[in-house]
Every structure is written in structure tokens, then in C-alpha cells.
């Protein structure tokens, strides 16, 4: 192990940041249990940068079809109370896949108003004032080994002031726990009683879902012994 750690320190790395577009999205249905909503396979070994700030803003997803009268204002009753977030836009509304500005947002009533075209599909992504468990996991090929490396309550993560109380990668105790070998996957998951994530073939991309994950990327495609070492390290905590 000491030899591997010595070699790891000798490999050149480049600092990068993974954004929302770097992950493959999927939809979570309310109450369906823990669901992968964002996933990325590591091509080269990467590691979360300990002490660096990151951002993740899970939002609820809700869709409805407008009635046949385009002169009427549609009122979308949100399934969960709406949070006034310090982190991201509270509401992102889409009409037939195109982002539009709501006519009105009522926080007390939990509603969004918009005068839509007849029979248009309205999709709203909003910050819910509700609990839900958010996890970042690293998963070995085939799912034989996995570990949660970050975990938050969704309601709390969207309440934090990113300037006064930012999220920081500061709870990972060792280098191997922060490391994702090549061919492993990084997965953001959600377990909540409100729908989240999105189907890229059916839903617009939520512009208020922000992802900023600081990493160090190895300049080599693989490192001998790293996969086995990370598996062994994870197994001791699972």
C-alpha cells in the first residue's frame, strides 16, 4: 500500500470541475426509492479535491398539459411547498421544451401561473421545501463494490448560503476514499417522495439544477493496483 501511495503522488494530475452536462441524466419518480439521477464513468482515474467547494442543487420535477383554451391562465399546483433558495433559481418553467418566464409565482399558495398555448406541455422544475436524501457514490464495474462519499438532505442543501456556508469536500479522511479508478462510475442518487431528475428523451434540461464538482484527473488511463486498493479500502467501511 505504501508503494502505491508513493506512486500516486508521483503521477501528474490536472484540476478540473465536473458540471451537470458531464453526467448522463435519468428520472426519479416520487416514492420509488433511491434512484440514480446523474451518472458518469471515469475514463482516467480521478479524485475529489479535498477542501474544494462544490455545488449540487436537486430540484423537483412536475409536468402538466394545458387546457385547450390558450386565453386561460394555467395554474400549476406544486406538489411540495416552494423554497426561497439562496443557491439557485427557485422555479424554471418550460412550455413544450422551451424555457419561459412564469406570469406569477405564489410561495404561500405553492403555485405557478402561466398563460400557455392550447394543449401545451408545461414542465416546472422547482426547489422543494421537503426532505429527500441525496448521495454521491462511487461504484465499481458491475456494481460489485460501492461507497457513499457525500450525503445530504435535499431540503438543507438548497437552504445553504453558498458564500457564508459553502459545501466543501472536507469529510473524506483518506486519498483512496476520494479516488475513483478508471471504469468506475460516479453516481448522484435521490431518495424522496417528490419526482426529480429528468429523462433526456422526454424532458427539458432543468437550468436551475446546478452541478459543480471539483476533481483532479490523472493524465494516465489507468494505474496498476489502484482498482484493488480502492475496493479493499471501501470494503472496510461498508
**Got the DSSP string for 67-84?**
-S-TTSPEEEE-SSPBP-
Pairing of strands 133-139, 98-100: unpaired
Amino acid 89: pLDDT: 96
Amino acid 171: pLDDT: 58
Helix (H) / strand (E) element for 104: namely: strand 104-106
Percent of the chain at pLDDT exceeding 90: 71
CA distances from 126 to 32, 57, 94, 117, 233 (A): 19, 10, 11, 21, 38
Residue 173 has pLDDT above 70, yes or no: no
* Whole-angstrom Cα Rg for the chain: 20
The gap from C-alpha 153 to its chain's centroid, in whole angstroms, comes to 12
The gap from C-alpha 217 to its chain's centroid, in whole angstroms, comes to 20
- String of b and e for 57-77 (b: at least 16 CB within 10 Å)? bbbbbbebebeeeeeeebebe
Residue 238 has pLDDT above 70, yes or no: no
Helix (H) / strand (E) element for 5: namely: helix 2-10
pTM above the 0.85 mark?
A: yes
Q: What is the pLDDT of residues 16-72, one digit of tens each?
A: 999 999 999 999 999 999 999 999 999 999 999 988 899 999 999 999 999 877 778
Amino acid 71: pLDDT: 72
CA distances from 154 to 48, 105, 200 (A): 21, 21, 22
Amino acid at each position: 500500500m505504501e508503494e502505491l501511495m508513493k506512486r500516486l503522488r508521483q503521477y501528474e494530475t490536472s484540476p478540473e470541475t465536473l458540471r451537470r452536462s458531464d453526467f448522463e441524466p435519468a428520472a426519479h419518480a416520487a416514492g420509488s426509492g433511491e434512484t440514480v439521477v446523474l451518472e458518469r464513468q471515469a475514463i482516467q482515474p480521478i479524485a475529489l479535491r479535498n477542501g474544494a467547494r462544490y455545488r449540487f442543487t436537486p430540484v423537483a420535477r412536475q409536468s402538466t398539459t394545458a387546457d385547450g383554451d390558450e386565453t386561460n391562465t394555467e395554474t400549476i399546483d406544486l406538489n411540495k411547498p416552494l423554497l426561497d433558495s439562496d443557491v439557485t433559481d427557485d422555479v424554471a418553467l418550460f412550455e413544450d421544451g422551451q424555457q419561459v418566464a412564469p406570469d406569477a409565482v405564489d410561495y404561500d399558495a405553492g403555485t405557478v401561473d402561466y398563460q400557455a398555448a392550447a394543449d401545451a406541455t408545461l414542465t416546472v422544475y422547482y426547489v422543494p421545501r421537503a426532505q429527500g436524501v441525496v448521495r454521491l457514490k462511487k461504484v465499481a464495474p458491475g456494481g460489485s463494490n460501492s461507497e457513499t462519499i457525500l450525503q445530504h438532505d435535499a431540503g438543507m442543501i438548497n437552504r445553504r448560503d453558498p458564500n457564508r456556508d459553502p459545501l466543501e469536500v472536507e469529510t473524506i479522511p483518506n486519498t483512496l476514499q476520494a479516488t475513483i479508478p478508471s471504469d468506475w462510475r460516479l453516481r448522484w442518487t435521490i431518495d424522496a417522495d417528490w419526482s426529480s431528475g429528468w429523462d433526456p428523451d422526454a424532458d427539458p434540461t432543468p437550468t436551475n439544477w446546478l452541478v459543480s464538482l471539483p476533481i483532479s484527473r490523472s493524465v494516465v488511463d489507468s494505474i496498476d493496483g489502484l482498482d484493488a486498493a480502492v475496493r479493499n479500502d471501501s470494503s472496510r467501511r461498508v
